[in-house]
Amino acid sequence: MAVTIKSPREIELMREAGRILAKTHEELAKNLRPGMSTWDIDHMGEEIIRSYGCIPSFKNYNGYPASICVSVNDEVVHGIPHKEHFLDEGDIVSLDAGVIYKGYHSDAARTYGIGEIDDDAKKLIEVTRQSFFEGIKFAKAGNHLNDISAAIQKYAESFGFGVVRDLVGHGIGSHLHEDPEIPNFARKRKGILLQPGMTLAIEPMITEGSYEVVWLDDDWTVMTEDGGWAAHYENTILITEGEPEILSL
Ligand code: MF3
Ligand code: CO
**What's the pLDDT tens digit per position in 112-124?**
999 999 999 999 9
Ligand nearest to the CA of 202: 2
* List of residues 6+ apart from 172 with CB closer than 8 A: 14, 105, 106, 107, 178, 199, 200, 201, 236
User: Is 68 contained in some domain?
Assistant: yes
User: Is 104 contained in some domain?
Assistant: yes
Cα distance between residue 112 and residue 128, in whole Å: 11
Indicate the pairing of strand 205-207 with strand 178-182.
unpaired
Segment 167-181, tens digit of pLDDT: 999 999 999 999 999
Instruction: Please report the pLDDT score of residue 1 as a whole number.
Output: 77
Cβ atoms of 92 and 128 closer than 8 Å: no
The 8-class DSSP code of residue 195 comes to -
User: Is 3 contained in some domain?
Assistant: no
Annotated binding site for a divalent metal cation: 96, 107, 170, 203, 234
User: Is 21 contained in some domain?
Assistant: yes
Domain that holds residue 189: 8-246
User: Is 155 contained in some domain?
Assistant: yes
Considering its fold, how many domains does the chain have in total?
Answer: 1
Segment 201-242, tens digit of pLDDT: 999 999 999 999 999 999 999 999 999 999 999 999 999 999
Start-to-end Cα distance in the chain: 28
Q: For position 58, which CATH number holds?
A: 3.90.230.10
Distance 236 CA to ligand 2 centre (A): 8
Ligand 1 atom with least separation from CA of 201: 4
User: Is 183 contained in some domain?
Assistant: yes
What pLDDT band is residue 139 in, cutting at 50, 70 and 90? very high
User: Is 87 contained in some domain?
Assistant: yes
User: Is 1 contained in some domain?
Assistant: no
The 8-class DSSP code of residue 208 comes to S
Model confidence, pTM: 0.98
Segment 147-160, tens digit of pLDDT: 999 999 999 999 99
pLDDT over threshold 80, residue 7:
yes
Distance 14 CA to ligand 2 centre (A): 14
Ligand 1 binding site (Cβ under 6 Å of any ligand atom): 58, 61-62, 64, 69, 78, 96, 107, 109, 170, 201, 203, 234
Average pLDDT score, the chain: 98
